[in-house]
């Protein structure tokens, strides 16, 4: 079964610290992996998409790495801000955009 | 910036009633999806739709569910006779495709369905 796990489930950090969010997937036969942000009661905002052939992808303060062979991806958020408080979801794409989601990393950035 | 829009944002219905959730995907996208998220649980795939037919569906998408693209812009999810366990946030998503249909997926804000 294609399971996606995110650790830690929740974390709080003081403003300015770097965030490291981990995602692991059991089946490494992915086409790509997508990171999303979800605010409470809201939709999913796409942050980064990493193709299976890529090692990392960057957008502003966000950097996502992918190690397909070991079934892991990491999302780094540099110099965290209170506005970064949200739940971050990773989703592995096994083809035809049938995404397998993790349960999310719930982040609180303390001012 | 183009976005996926969904209506209604919240619907409350009685068990056994029919519900239609509506979505307007991004205009040049060709592939459409419904996902759902039961409170506190993972986001789950329901169905994918391309070229006016279902491409793939999950085991959740039983005979009570149907999808339709009634015109050139709307994409709907119908639940024929709602059950308590259908209470969830339903997300519509779309993509332009890409190799093996693995392009970036864009989600709407969701429709929260509460079944009483």
What does the pLDDT look like over A25-45, one tens digit per residue? Answer: 998 899 999 999 999 888 999
Please give the C-alpha separations between residue A105 and each of A72, A102, B47, in angstroms, as whole numbers.
Answer: 15, 9, 25
Inter-chain touch B41–A46, beta carbons under 8 Å: no
Q: What is the pLDDT along chain B (116 residues), one digit of tens a residue?
A: 779 999 999 999 999 999 999 999 998 898 999 999 999 899 999 999 988 899 999 999 999 999 999 887 899 999 999 999 999 999 999 998 765 556 788 999 999 999 99
Cβ atoms within 10 A of the Cβ of B59, count?
A: 7
CA of B24, closest CA in chain A: separation in Å?
Answer: 15
Minimum Cα–Cα distance from A97: chain B residue: B102
Q: State the maximum Cα–Cα separation within chain A, in Å, rounded to a whole number.
A: 41
Q: What is the pLDDT of residue A2?
A: 85
Residues of B with CB under 8 A from a CB of A: 6, 31, 33, 35, 41-45, 48, 55-56, 58, 89, 91, 93, 95, 100-110, 112
Please give the C-alpha separations between residue A32 and each of A10, A90, A96, B102, in angstroms, as whole numbers.
Answer: 25, 11, 11, 7
Cβ atoms within 10 A of the Cβ of B35, count?
A: 27
Inter-chain touch A95–B100, beta carbons under 8 Å: yes
Mutation to test the B interface, candidates A1, A42, A43, most B Cβ within 10 Å:
A43
Q: What is the mean pLDDT of chain A?
A: 94
């Amino acid at each position: 079964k294609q399971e996606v796990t995110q650790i830690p489930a929740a974390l709080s950090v003081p403003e300015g610290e770097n965030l490291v969010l981990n995602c692991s997937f059991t089946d490494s036969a992915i086409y790509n992996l997508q990171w999303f942000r979800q605010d409470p009661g809201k939709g999913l905002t796409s942050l980064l998409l990493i193709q299976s052939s890529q090692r990392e992808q960057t957008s502003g303060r966000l950097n996502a790495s992918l190690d397909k062979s070991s079934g892991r991806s990491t999302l780094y958020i540099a110099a965290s801000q209170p506005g970064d408080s949200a739940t971050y979801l990773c989703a592995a794409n096994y083809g035809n955009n049938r995404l397998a989601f993790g349960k999310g990393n719930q982040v609180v950035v303390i001012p | 910036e183009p976005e996926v829009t969904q209506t209604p944002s919240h619907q409350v219905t009685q068990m056994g009633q029919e519900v239609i959730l509506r979505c307007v995907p991004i205009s040049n996208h060709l592939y459409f999806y419904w996902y759902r998220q039961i409170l506190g649980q993972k986001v789950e795939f329901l169905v994918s739709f391309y070229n006016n037919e279902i491409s793939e569906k999950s085991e959740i998408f039983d005979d009570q569910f149907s999808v339709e693209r009634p015109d050139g812009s709307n994409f709907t999810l119908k639940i024929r006779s709602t059950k308590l366990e259908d209470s969830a946030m339903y997300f519509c998503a779309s993509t332009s495709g890409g190799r093996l249909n693995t392009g970036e997926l864009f989600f709407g804000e969701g429709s929260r369905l509460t079944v009483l």
